[in-house]
Structure 1
Amino acid sequence: MLSGRRSAASHLLLAPAAAWLIVFLVLPALGLVALSLARNGAYGTVVWSLNLDNYRRAVDPRYVPVLLRTLGFAGATTALCLILGYPLAYFLSFRAGRFRGALIIALMVPFWTSALVAFYSWMVILGKEGLLNSALLRFGFISAPLGILYTPFSVLLGLVYFYLPFTVLPLYGSLEKIPRSYVEAAYDLGADRWTTFLKVTLPLSLPGVIAGALLTFIPCLGDFLTAELLGGPRYYLLGNLISNQFLMAQDWPFGAALTTLLLAGMIGGLWAYRRWEPDA
């Protein structure tokens, strides 16, 4: 009797969150899938004749360079975030001491500012008349302004800046779960720091590595604002292609098909992570 009441109370507490997810996530996603099966009519209208033409267009070879460019930027961003994020997460977990809280708060600063404001700030810094070029010219390191903005470097810099916390926080959580007695036991058995890291710390932190990589790679696939502001039209990504279908080309069914494929890839990545997690 008591367990039944507790179960009913749990369901009642979950009901608002479940209703919110159904109304604002599940139903829009289903509507997106339905829209992807329609076709585009005159003047941007939607003709509800169910077909797979939009998915056939999505795999057209003309979009392969956009897909490859997107995968390249997402992969490079993920790799750089792991290279930069793992030492930072390790320091926060094992070495930060009483400064840990302040450093974690500093790490969260990109979440506290609007992405639009942050990217415009990078444009001010990286522009030909920006702060970076002005400083380099003033101290004599260069004789002419560098073309840093609207390059692959500026796009990658913006992506790493924004997504680095998505990598560090899962890594930090995974490293925090490692019993310190395991590390001490490795030292007691004669292992040096490098061997202890390779044999103990790194294997036990792999779930955090996988989670951080997924939480960085998957959102990067749909990012469009970074390439729009820091890369310009030369570095057109999948997110820009989807955005333009809805906002400029007024081809909503094709945009919905591209979004559905992107969502399917994201769900597949999360499913793969869930398959990995129990074994880790």
Structure 2
Amino acid sequence: MGAATRSATAAAISALDDALHPGLLGRLHGGATADLGDELLAAARAIASSNQLTSLLADPTLDPKNRSQLIRRVFGDRLERRALQILESMAASRWSEPGDIVDAVEEVGFRALALLSDDPIDAQLFAVQRTVSATPEIELALGNGASPVEARVALVDRLLANASPATRSIVRHTVQLPGGRRPVEALERAERVVADARGRQVAIATVAKPLTQQQVDALEQRLGSGYGRKIVVNQVIDPALIGGVRIAIGDDVIDGSVRTRLDDLRLRIA
């Protein structure tokens, strides 16, 4: 991600915060609605579906005001006022690559859903991610761009019948986004964004057998102290590890598994 995109994304997140926590004048005219996240995700899909629109919104040679006006012309009668304001501010920003604006609108949509819902969205996204990655048929069906979008959305609704509306919105979006990532990759990104929006970071603990809740709590506390923020531990069971735990947090990997220690011992003996 280029410097311009990092700055523009941070500004978009700040604009979302302003929409969710308006001043007195904003509150008098109505706060952000629960549909804000859905509207932003729909806008991300609409922008991604048009290479011309994506290029124009990220074209640094166009006046920022003209790019904002383009947003009003395209979405003015389709979006709630606050969603429109966020998109206008994003169109006025500078982006490192044209496609970055789609990713940023998507991220802000995920964040809006996370902040406007009290449901355990990140945990549900992780569960969906594990189901999809463990079932090649489902991953193929969800990621098959040649199949009708309606069929993929219907599959999502069947899989997530008991999930929260926000979780369903996010997973639906990942299969609807034109030229989107593989389902598992899209779900991983969504989970990270949702967790970050709620002030925490996800750690994946791969273990030979499930940890007790007491062990999970202790691990989260220890990792949180080390990383300086709340850590949420998700477990992946892999009997091949024999014992111990392998922890992945972003790009960091802490490997304390018995399998790794045995492999190291074999290398030293050899």
Q: Shorter-chain-normalised TM-score: which range? A: under 0.3
Which structure ranks higher in relative contact order (CA pairs < 8 Å, sequence separation ≥ 6)? 1
Larger Rg: 1
Q: What TM-score do you get using the length of structure 2 for normalisation?
A: 0.25
Per the normalisation by structure 1, the TM-score is: 0.24
**Structure with the bigger percentage of strand:** 2
Query: Higher helix proportion, which one?
Result: 1
